[in-house]
Amino acid sequence: MEGCLEIYGFYRPIIKRTIVGMLCVAILTGAVFSRKAVGTKEYLSAEKQEETGNDIAVSKMEKIVAAESQEIIVSEPDKTVMAEAKDNLAEKEEAIIAAESKVNIVDVPKNTVVDEAKDVITDEPKDTIVNESNDIPKNDTEESEDAKTDIAETATPFLIDEAGMLYGINEEMLDCRSGVLELPSENCVGIRSHAFINGFTDIYEIYIPSNISVIETGAFDGIDNLFDIMVEEGNINYTSIDGVLYDEEEITLLAFPAGRTGGYIVPTQTERIAANAFAQTGLSVIDIRDCGTLLIEDDRAAQLVRCEQ
């Protein structure tokens, strides 16, 4: 026994070291295995995650493919529907055009339709309508106003014959409150002798337009208060010198206003005094510069002439 103890005591340190060494080896071995196990677990976990990621990717791809297939499947019917809608619309348009063409196509000839329309419009004759309007009675005031309007639009105080010569004046229509009588500038070419013989005491001036080309002798007889005879500048047959009527050359005195009194000095360029030029004059004397060169055809003027030479 004591021998065993001695042996144990001798080998005790060695045994302890051996046990400790074995424990250390066991611990180290366990650590290595645990590390390997952990690494394997981590590896497996990573591989699993990779597989899971692949599965997710595959799932996503499947969904995308499925969605695309659905879009394709859905879009195709839409195109079909649109094509059908277009076909239906085309059919409707054709039907509308056909209906309109049917409406425009009339079995009855156009002339018949026009004749029927005319018959409808002319069922009531125009004469009937006019007669109905004429049957409406008018009072005296309306008739007189209509007559005045017609006269104002068409009538004129000047009496003109077929030759365009003024031969008289309608005194009721003549308005000469200004004292100036302007002869017509249209549809009149001249003035007949004694056109104013009825007497017009309220006329002090006569205006002769350019269209007057003929003035007969004694045309202004009867206008006792006439003071001026004026002629438009464009007149190629007559002219006026100080209100006295001369020919276009200003050498023949044709008519002197009857309303003037006192004396009158004949212009020096005057070569002739026409007959009846002073017949109605109220002058007391006519002064002439040179009686030897002046031809006097008017009897009244010859009685009143006073020559300086």
Mean pLDDT (the chain) is 75
* Residue 100, pLDDT score: 60
Task: Give the residue, 146 or 272, on which the prediction is more confident.
Answer: 272
Query: What is the band of 72 on the pLDDT scale with cuts at 50, 70, 90?
Result: very low
Q: CB-based burial of residue 182 (10 Å sphere; 0-12 exposed, 13-18 middle, 19+ buried)?
A: middle
Q: What pairing do the DSSP bridges indicate for beta strands 244-247 and 158-160?
A: unpaired
Per-residue pLDDT, 45? 61
- Count of alpha carbons within 13 Å of 72, Cβ hemisphere only? 6
Is the pLDDT at 183 greater than 80, yes or no? Answer: yes
Q: What is the pLDDT of residue 201?
A: 87
Q: How confident is the model at residue 77 (pLDDT cuts 50, 70, 90)?
A: very low
Q: What percent of the chain has pLDDT over 90?
A: 40
Q: Are 255 and 215 in contact (CB under 8 A)?
A: yes
Cα separation, 256 vs 276, whole angstroms: 9
The mean pLDDT value for 76-86 works out to 54
Q: What pLDDT is recorded for position 118? A: 45
* 73/235: higher pLDDT: 235
Q: Is a pLDDT exceeding 90 seen at residue 226?
A: yes
Residue 26 pLDDT level (bands cut at 50, 70, 90) = confident
- Decide if pLDDT at 115 tops 60: no
164-182 residue pLDDT tens = 999 999 988 888 889 999 9
Q: In this model, does residue 87 exceed pLDDT 90?
A: no
Residue 299 confidence (pLDDT): 93
Tell if the pTM clears 0.75, that is, is over it.
no
Query: Looking at per-residue confidence, does 14 or 62 come out higher?
Result: 14
* β-strands 238-241, 244-247 pairing: antiparallel
149 pLDDT tier (thresholds 50, 70, 90): very low
Q: How far apart are CA 20 and CA 190, in angstroms?
A: 170
CA distances from 185 to 82, 88, 211, 223, 262 (A): 83, 79, 6, 20, 33
